[in-house]
Amino acid sequence: NHGYIEVVIGPMYSGKSEELIRRIKRARIAKQNIVVFKPKIDNRYSVEDVVSHSGDSVNAIPINSAKEIYNFIDSKTQVVGIDEVQFFDEEIVEIAMDLADKGIRVIAAGLDMDFKGEPFGPTPNLLAVAEFVDKIQAICSVCGQPANRSQRLINGEPARYDDPIIQVGAVESYEARCRKCHVVYKDKK
Ligand code: ADP
Ligand code: ZN
C-alpha cells in the first residue's frame, strides 16, 4: 500500500492551518498514528502547536530542516502533517515523496505565493507531485471578493518589491487581497 501527498495552499488567512488541523483531528478520531511538523522559527526545541487564526490548534514538532522528519517517524507512522511548508528547503519535496512511497499520508499546508505574488519556496514543486491539491481563498480585506494573495504592508503602506525582510522601527503587517486589490510597487522610493 502506498501513501499519498495532499497539499492545501492559499494566501494568509485563507484557512490553511484550519484545514490542516481539521484533517489531523479526523485522522486522530480514526486512531491513526500521526506526527505534525512546522518550521522552527525561534531557538527552542519543544513541542509546540500549529495554531490557526481562529484559535484552533494541534501539537507540532518544530524542526530546522526537512530531513529531521526522519528522527520522529517510524514504521508505525501513518500520517505526517506539515504546516508552513513554504519555509522548508527544497528537499521537503523528495522527502514527502519518500514518505508517500513508504505508505504514509502526507498533508502539507503553506503559502503558494509570497507577498510579491511570486511562487514561494518548495511549494510549487510539491504541488506538481501531489495527488491532491486544494487551493483555498481568503476574503479580500479591501473589496470582499475571494482573495488569493497576501498583501505586505509597512507602516500601513503597500510594501515595495525590494523592501528588506526586517526593517528596524517599521511596523509590518499582512492582509489577504484579491488580484485587483493586491499592490506591489516595483519602483524605488
Ligand atoms: P492560514 O493558515 O491560511 O493563514 P488560518 O487557518 O490560520 O489561515 O486562519 C483562517 C481564519 O482567519 C478564518 O477562519 C477567519 O476566522 C480568520 N480571518 C481573518 N481575516 C480573514 C480574511 N481576510 N479572510 C478570511 N478569513 C480571515
Ligand atoms: Zn479585492
Among the bound ligands, name the one nearest to the CA of residue 134.
1
Q: Where are the domains of the chain?
A: 4-136, 137-189
Burial category of 99 from C-beta neighbours within 10 Å (exposed 0-12, middle 13-18, buried 19 and up): buried
Burial category of 45 from C-beta neighbours within 10 Å (exposed 0-12, middle 13-18, buried 19 and up): exposed
pLDDT digits (tens, 9 = 90+) for 143-187: 999 999 999 999 999 999 888 776 677 888 999 999 999 999 886
Query: Which of 45 and 185 is assigned the larger pLDDT?
Result: 185
pLDDT digits (tens, 9 = 90+) for 76-100: 999 999 999 999 999 999 999 999 9
Of 46, 86, 79, give the one whose Cα is nearest residue 62.
46
- Residue spans of alpha helices (H) in the chain: 16-29, 91-101, 123-129
pLDDT, position 67: 97
Q: What interface predicted TM-score (ipTM) does this complex get? A: 0.96
For the domain spanning 4-136, the CATH number is 3.40.50.300
Tell me if 92 sits within 8 A of 122, measured CB to CB. Answer: yes
Per-position DSSP letters for 113-156, written without gaps between them: B-TTSSB-TTHHHHHHH-SEEEE--EE-TTT-SEE-EEEEEETT
Which pTM does this prediction carry? Answer: 0.93
CATH classification for the domain delimited by 137-189, as one of 3.30.60.20, 3.90.180.10, 2.30.30.100, 1.10.510.10: 3.30.60.20
d(CA 134, CA 113): 14
pLDDT, position 25: 96
pLDDT, position 164: 75
Is 172 marked active-site?
A: no
Q: Output the CA 72–ligand 1 centroid distance in Å.
A: 29
Of 177, 188, 183, give the one whose Cα is nearest residue 148.
177
Q: Which among 7, 8, 14 is the best mutation to test ligand 1's pocket, defined by most ligand atoms within 8 Å of the CB?
A: 14
